[in-house]
Amino acid sequence: MFAASLHLSCELDDKADYDIWGQSAQGWDACKDTIVLRFDQKPLCPKYVEALCAWCRDDVQPLMLKVKEFGGSDSLKKEVVAQITQEKFEAFKDKYEKEGRIAKY
């Protein structure tokens, strides 16, 4: 279930996905084991993936669900998607590691 956070729907152009915007598609929440690969095929540390899952679940998804709460306008969606950056994730990851957080799978 923790890895389902990596599969949040955040497409801006697909009106068909409005109902699941900010959520994982049906079936992903039942996912137990997951393989995560880097596109460039470089090694990927499990703690890095853990922090990425936590960031998606704890920081990104709540923002996405707030957009839906306020009607799901395209401009609000764009604002949220603009927050999904490497810099924002790295700041979260540093804080996550300093706090010694452990993922709740």
Q: Which residue has the higher pLDDT, 62 or 13?
A: 62
For 28-80, how does the pLDDT look when each residue is reduced to its tens digit (9 = 90+)? 666 677 888 989 999 999 899 999 999 999 999 999 889 888 887 888 889 99
Query: Is-contact 97 46, C-beta < 8 A?
Result: no
pLDDT band at 102 (very low <50, low <70, confident <90, very high): confident
Mean local confidence (pLDDT), 17-33:
72
Neighbours of 77 (CB within 10 A): 20
The predicted model scores a pTM of 0.81
Token output for 102: 């452990």
pLDDT of residue 42: 93
Question: What radius of gyration do the chain's Cα atoms show?
Answer: 14
Which region, left, alpha or beta, applies to residue 99 given φ > 0 means left and ψ of -120 to 50 means alpha?
Answer: alpha
Query: Hey, what amino acid is at 104?
Result: K
Closest CA to 83 of 103, 97, 104, 67: 67
Mean local confidence (pLDDT), 71-90:
90
pLDDT of residue 103: 65
pLDDT of residue 15: 63
pLDDT band at 81 (very low <50, low <70, confident <90, very high): very high
